[in-house]
């Protein structure tokens, strides 16, 4: 439904009032040695996350018949290694506080640079990073961006994906896909291939449900189209619905507040992440419906979601039985209404377009586990698998809310849970001198949130054209919640300024990702009628000198600060290893402040924080970690998982050539790490230590380069 749109100035009245309140108390915080037991939290301080409703589509019941069943389905699919072409689960990159802390074969050379950069400055493929490698931009004086640059790289700390392979076909009942190995000189050592590494750092999925848009560049749209991340920019994407006579019909859907669903359907078909090149969602559906859920993994009998379905629940031999005592066909039927899976008609795709035909007459028309159809023909449940997957994953990830950090307890009851003196002073820095709260706003600690953005209403804002000027002196449109912070050159990664893979028929150019750029097209009547209602309307007759300018290049989504001590390395490039290194970069006004000035957010400037203020700010950030996340207690418990962690290196420095696939499904040269199954009691119940920081570093550790 088309909504009435308004455009906010750079700081809305709502935010201005909040920030004004913060400013009033911030000086008190920075000076106060301690907080008295009876002191109430000052007005304007972010509240507990418990006060924020978890976003949910208003029409979710149109699609999902049983939300509890959808959560079970989503958790199984998220952790199932069989989903990838060669053992990559969604969780393979989100197993550590929702993020990834692997250190070997974790470097991408900068493939998102313009032009793409395939050269390494940090040791090359299969390299193991060390604390000495960070930060990626080393200065002779870390306090000044103008000091001599000792080292710089556009390399990225990313996550291992798949081996570059051309997809041939699935094998029913088999976890691995058939494919033909392709040359990959960027990700190989002396001719021996290693896994590809994604060109951006992996963000956490915990609390991601609060984001209006997901992925660093926001391409995971607020509206889920049932097929891919791009929402209404893919004008033809839809699902297959059973009509009253049992026939299949195509139906366009645009499900609001569903960026998590949009995000989830991207990686499983990406040749950088989970898929052989050319695999489609119906292929994935046909494969997964033929497999026992989590057949390669143990599910703890006390799993907070999947425990009752665990094959290990009745096992008396140290929980050795794997998988679930059900199948994906039954799980989908339990979660979704019949009209999305019940038709007996068959779908084939001709030049990408669906063609419907009658069911086969072999008596096996509904036997999805032992499909008698050719691999290029799909039943409705297989053809709709991306739709089921997206909403199920979103249902599960909507439970991953960390709302019981020390800060939440303080915000809810400061009498019972007062801050430490360091935390109180650090919050003062956060709210005032550090300028952190201008972008990391509210209980979500990001103003990229659904509650802050309110759909389209506040998706576009105005920014001063000159970072030292003001709105009336000249402004540009930008996407709220996405900011260029001068961390890297724009040519390293254009971020929000990128485009979608779908062509605008009115311009014959790709649709931009940016709502500011889409808004300009809408103002010029250059958006199709089926796209325009999902784009914010720019004001006509704006008085600003250059109303057609946008500042979205090199901008990235404002990430949440919750659990931030566990989710390093930091920024979209993974270029900082500790929270103190992050604070130092902000304090010096970014590393590429002047080079990015035309698109830089005006709050990125020299902060002149003292050593004590930096220390206190880190102390406050540490109070945002929920101990349930650190201890993997429900809802953050999980099945067993095996993850690749680089390849073994022989004494002569070479990687052994691939000879065979082991029983665990990995290549014989790979180093495989087990993430053990954890029940609702978490790591303490399993006698295991809590999650730690990236590389085990002290969050207070600064760049070791001498000043």
Query: Higher-confidence residue: 116 or 22?
Result: 116
Q: What letter does residue 675 receive in the DSSP assignment?
A: E
pLDDT of residue 669: 87
Structural domain range at position 312: 60-82+204-397
Arithmetic mean of pLDDT over the chain: 89
pLDDT of residue 542: 52
pLDDT of residue 8: 29
In this structure, of 363-377, 406-420, 537-551, the range with the lowest mean pLDDT score is 537-551
What are φ and ψ of residue 685, in 5° steps?
-65, -25
The position carrying tokens 């920030």 is 19
Q: What letter does residue 638 receive in the DSSP assignment?
A: B
Residue 598 CA to residue 592 CA, distance in Å, equals: 11
Assess if residue 631 is contained within a domain.
Answer: yes
pLDDT of residue 276: 98
Please determine, for residue 30, whether its predicted confidence score (pLDDT) is greater than 60.
Answer: no
Please determine, for residue 47, whether its predicted confidence score (pLDDT) is greater than 60.
Answer: yes
Assess if residue 172 is contained within a domain.
Answer: no
pLDDT of residue 467: 47
- Nearest C-alpha neighbor of 225 from the set 280, 274, 265, 279: 265
pLDDT of residue 667: 85
In this structure, of 92-101, 232-241, 271-280, 351-360, the range with the lowest mean pLDDT score is 351-360
pLDDT of residue 42: 46
Assess if residue 551 is contained within a domain.
Answer: yes
Model confidence band, residue 561 (pLDDT cutoffs 50, 70, 90): very high
Assess if residue 231 is contained within a domain.
Answer: yes
Assess if residue 672 is contained within a domain.
Answer: no
Q: Is 294 left (phi over 0), alpha (psi -120 to 50) or beta?
A: left
Q: Are 458 and 602 found together in one domain? A: yes
Model confidence band, residue 361 (pLDDT cutoffs 50, 70, 90): low
Q: What letter does residue 625 receive in the DSSP assignment?
A: -
Is there a contact between 384 and 252 (Cβ–Cβ < 8 Å)?
no
Query: For strand 137-139 and strand 149-152, is the pairing parallel, antiparallel, or unpaired?
Result: antiparallel
Residue 222 CA to residue 232 CA, distance in Å, equals: 9
Residue that is last in its domain, among 374, 397, 420? 397
Query: Higher-confidence residue: 319 or 115?
Result: 115
Structural domain count of the chain = 2
Please determine, for residue 470, whether its predicted confidence score (pLDDT) is greater than 50.
Answer: no
pLDDT of residue 329: 98
Please determine, for residue 527, whether its predicted confidence score (pLDDT) is greater than 80.
Answer: yes
What are φ and ψ of residue 161, in 5° steps?
-110, -130
pLDDT of residue 12: 35
pLDDT of residue 27: 37
In this structure, of 386-390, 423-427, 521-525, 658-662, the range with the lowest mean pLDDT score is 658-662
pLDDT of residue 705: 57
List residues bridging with 463 in a β-sheet.
476
Query: Rounded mean pLDDT of 407-435?
Result: 96
Q: How remote is the C-alpha of 158 from its chain's centroid?
A: 12
pLDDT of residue 664: 75
Residue 603 CA to residue 590 CA, distance in Å, equals: 10
Residue 113 CA to residue 493 CA, distance in Å, equals: 5
List residues bridging with 197 in a β-sheet.
160
Query: Rounded mean pLDDT of 662-676?
Result: 87
Model confidence band, residue 360 (pLDDT cutoffs 50, 70, 90): confident
Q: How remote is the C-alpha of 302 from its chain's centroid?
A: 27
Model confidence band, residue 707 (pLDDT cutoffs 50, 70, 90): very low
Q: Are 582 and 695 found together in one domain? A: yes
Q: What percent of the chain has pLDDT over 70?
A: 87
Task: Count CB neighbours of 608 within 10 A.
Answer: 11
Please determine, for residue 314, whether its predicted confidence score (pLDDT) is greater than 80.
Answer: no
Model confidence band, residue 5 (pLDDT cutoffs 50, 70, 90): very low
In this structure, of 273-282, 382-391, 530-539, 544-553, the range with the lowest mean pLDDT score is 544-553
- Nearest C-alpha neighbor of 397 from the set 495, 265, 216, 581: 265
Model confidence band, residue 110 (pLDDT cutoffs 50, 70, 90): very high
pLDDT of residue 321: 87
Q: Are 329 and 265 found together in one domain? A: yes
pLDDT of residue 31: 33
In this structure, of 17-31, 275-289, 400-414, 465-479, the range with the lowest mean pLDDT score is 17-31
- HSE toward the beta carbon, residue 341, CA cutoff 13 A: 26
| DSSP helix/strand/coil, 61 | helix
* Residue 179: both structure tokens together: 């494919």
Instruction: Burial-class residue 321 by CB neighbours within 10 Å (0-12, 13-18, 19+).
Output: middle
Q: Are 507 and 631 found together in one domain? A: yes
H/E/C letters for each residue in 259-299? HHHHHHCCHHHCCCCCCCECCCHHHHHHHHCCCCCCCCCCC
Model confidence band, residue 109 (pLDDT cutoffs 50, 70, 90): very high
Assess if residue 483 is contained within a domain.
Answer: yes
pLDDT of residue 7: 29
pLDDT of residue 369: 57
Residue 260 CA to residue 291 CA, distance in Å, equals: 25
Q: Are 335 and 376 found together in one domain? A: yes
Assess if residue 158 is contained within a domain.
Answer: no
Residue 167 CA to residue 45 CA, distance in Å, equals: 52
Q: Are 45 and 69 found together in one domain? A: no
Residue that is last in its domain, among 397, 422, 447? 397
Please determine, for residue 41, whether its predicted confidence score (pLDDT) is greater than 60.
Answer: no
Residues 6+ apart with CB under 8 A from 500: 219, 230, 233, 234, 510, 511, 512, 513
List residues bridging with 64 in a β-sheet.
336
Q: Are 222 and 362 found together in one domain? A: yes
Please determine, for residue 703, whether its predicted confidence score (pLDDT) is greater than 90.
Answer: no
What is the maximum alpha-carbon separation in the chain?
80
Q: What letter does residue 423 receive in the DSSP assignment?
A: H
Query: Rounded mean pLDDT of 216-240?
Result: 97
Show the beta-strand stretches assigned E in 194-262.
Answer: 239-242, 248-251
Between the two ends of the chain, the Cα-to-Cα distance in Å is 57
Model confidence band, residue 656 (pLDDT cutoffs 50, 70, 90): confident
pLDDT of residue 195: 96
b/e per residue 672-696 (b: at least 16 CB within 10 A): eeebebbbbbbbebbeeeebebbbe
Q: How remote is the C-alpha of 658 from its chain's centroid?
A: 32
CATH of the domain at 43: 1.10.760.10
Please determine, for residue 25, whether its predicted confidence score (pLDDT) is greater than 60.
Answer: no
Q: Is the omega angle on the peptide bond into residue 346 within 30 degrees of 0, that is, cis? A: no
Angle (deg, nearest 10), helices 385-397 and 67-79: 100
Please determine, for residue 17, whether its predicted confidence score (pLDDT) is greater than 50.
Answer: no
Residue 380 CA to residue 180 CA, distance in Å, equals: 29
pLDDT of residue 313: 75
- HSE toward the beta carbon, residue 118, CA cutoff 13 A: 6
Instruction: Burial-class residue 272 by CB neighbours within 10 Å (0-12, 13-18, 19+).
Output: buried
Residue 399 CA to residue 383 CA, distance in Å, equals: 27
- pLDDT tens for each residue of 374-417: 999 999 999 999 999 999 999 999 999 999 999 999 999 999 99
Query: Rounded mean pLDDT of 195-222?
Result: 97
Q: Are 581 and 515 found together in one domain? A: yes
Please determine, for residue 363, whether its predicted confidence score (pLDDT) is greater than 90.
Answer: no
Q: Are 139 and 213 found together in one domain? A: no
Assess if residue 137 is contained within a domain.
Answer: yes
* Residue 425: both structure tokens together: 């002073």
What are φ and ψ of residue 288, in 5° steps?
-65, -30
Q: Are 393 and 410 found together in one domain? A: no
Please determine, for residue 634, whether its predicted confidence score (pLDDT) is greater than 60.
Answer: yes
Q: Give the length of the chain.
A: 707
- Nearest C-alpha neighbor of 166 from the set 145, 180, 176: 180
Task: Count CB neighbours of 54 within 10 A.
Answer: 14
Residue 292 CA to residue 173 CA, distance in Å, equals: 8
Residue that is last in its domain, among 397, 412, 436? 397
H/E/C letters for each residue in 646-673? EECCCCCCCCCCCCCECCCCCECCEEEE
Is there a contact between 165 and 276 (Cβ–Cβ < 8 Å)?
yes
Q: Are 77 and 35 found together in one domain? A: no
Q: What letter does residue 226 receive in the DSSP assignment?
A: S
- Nearest C-alpha neighbor of 631 from the set 689, 592, 582: 689
Please determine, for residue 653, whether its predicted confidence score (pLDDT) is greater than 80.
Answer: no
What are φ and ψ of residue 600, in 5° steps?
-70, 140
Model confidence band, residue 269 (pLDDT cutoffs 50, 70, 90): very high
Q: DSSP string of 522-567?
A: HHTT-S-TTTGGGSPPPPTT--SS-TT-B--TTBEE----TTGGGS
Q: Are 373 and 251 found together in one domain? A: yes
What are φ and ψ of residue 606, in 5° steps?
-60, 130
- pLDDT tens for each residue of 166-185: 999 999 999 999 999 999 99
Angle (deg, nearest 10), helices 67-79 and 328-335: 150
């Amino acid at each position: 439904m088309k909504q009435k749109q308004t455009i906010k100035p750079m700081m809305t009245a709502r935010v201005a009032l909040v920030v004004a309140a913060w400013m009033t108390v911030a000086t008190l915080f920075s000076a106060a040695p301690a907080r008295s037991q009876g002191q109430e939290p000052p007005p304007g301080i972010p509240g507990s996350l418990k006060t924020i409703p978890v976003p949910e589509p208003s029409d979710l019941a149109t699609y999902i018949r049983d939300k509890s069943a959808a959560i079970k389905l989503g958790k199984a699919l998220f952790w199932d290694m069989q989903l990838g072409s060669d053992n990559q689960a969604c969780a393979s990159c989100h197993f550590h506080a929702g993020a990834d802390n692997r250190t070997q074969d974790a470097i991408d050379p900068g493939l998102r640079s313009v032009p793409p950069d395939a050269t390494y400055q940090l040791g090359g493929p299969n390299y193991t990073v060390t604390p000495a490698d960070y930060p990626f931009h080393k200065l002779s004086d870390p306090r000044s961006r103008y000091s001599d640059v000792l080292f710089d790289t556009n390399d990225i700390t990313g996550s291992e994906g798949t081996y570059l392979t051309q997809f041939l076909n699935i094998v029913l009942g088999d976890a691995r896909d058939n494919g033909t190995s392709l040359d990959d000189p960027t990700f190989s050592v002396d001719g021996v291939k290693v896994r590809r590494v994604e060109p951006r750092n992996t963000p956490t999925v915990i609390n991601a449900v609060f984001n209006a848009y997901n992925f660093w560049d926001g391409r995971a749209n607020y509206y889920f189209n049932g097929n891919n991340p791009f929402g209404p920019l893919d004008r033809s994407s839809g699902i297959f619905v059973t009509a009253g006579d049992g026939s299949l019909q195509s139906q366009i859907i645009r499900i609001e507040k569903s960026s998590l669903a949009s995000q989830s359907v991207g990686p499983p078909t990406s040749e950088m992440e989970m898929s052989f090149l050319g695999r489609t969602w119906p292929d994935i559906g046909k494969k997964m419906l033929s497999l026992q859920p989590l057949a390669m993994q143990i599910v703890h009998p006390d799993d907070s979601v999947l425990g009752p379905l665990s094959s290990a629940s009745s096992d008396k031999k140290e929980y050795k039985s794997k998988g679930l005592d059900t199948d994906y066909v039954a799980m989908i039927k339990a979660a979704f209404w019949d009209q999305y899976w019940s038709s007996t008609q068959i779908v084939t795709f001709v030049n990408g377009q669906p063609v419907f035909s009658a069911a086969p007459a072999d008596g096996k028309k509904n036997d999805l586990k032992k499909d008698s159809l050719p691999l290029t023909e799909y039943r409705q449940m297989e053809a709709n698998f991306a739709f089921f997957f997206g909403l199920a994953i979103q249902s599960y990830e909507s439970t991953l809310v960390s709302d019981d950090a020390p800060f939440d307890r303080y915000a809810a009851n400061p009498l019972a849970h007062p801050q430490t003196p360091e935390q109180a002073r650090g919050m003062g820095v956060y709210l005032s001198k550090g300028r952190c709260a201008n972008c990391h706003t509210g209980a979500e600690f990001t103003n990229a949130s659904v509650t802050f953005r309110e759909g389209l209403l506040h998706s576009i804002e105005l920014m001063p054209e000159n970072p030292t000027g003001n709105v009336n002196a000249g402004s540009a449109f930008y996407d709220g919640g996405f900011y260029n912070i001068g961390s890297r050159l724009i040519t390293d990664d254009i971020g929000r300024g990128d485009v979608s893979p779908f062509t605008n028929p009115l311009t014959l150019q790709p649709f931009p990702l940016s709502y500011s750029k889409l808004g300009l097209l809408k103002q010029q009547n250059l958006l199709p009628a089926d796209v325009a209602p999902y784009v914010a309307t720019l004001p006509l007759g704006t008085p600003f000198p250059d109303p057609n300018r946008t500042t979205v290049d090199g901008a990235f989504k404002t990430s949440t600060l919750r659990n931030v001590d566990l989710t390093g390395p930091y920024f979209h490039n993974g270029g900082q290893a500790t929270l103190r290194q992050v604070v130092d970069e902000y304090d010096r006004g970014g590393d590429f402040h002047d080079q990015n000035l035309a698109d830089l957010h005006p709050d990125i400037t020299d902060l002149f924080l003292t050593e004590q203020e930096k220390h206190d700010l880190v102390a406050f950030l540490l109070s945002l970690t929920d101990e349930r996340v650190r201890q993997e207690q429900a809802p953050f418990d999980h099945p067993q998982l095996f993850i690749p962690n680089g390849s073994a290196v022989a004494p002569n420095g070479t990687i052994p050539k691939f000879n065979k696939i082991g029983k665990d499904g990995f290549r014989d040269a790979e180093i495989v790490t087990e993430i053990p199954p954890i029940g609702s009691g978490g790591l303490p119940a399993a006698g295991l230590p809590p999650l730690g920081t990236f590389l085990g570093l002290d969050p207070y550790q600064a760049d070791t380069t001498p000043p």
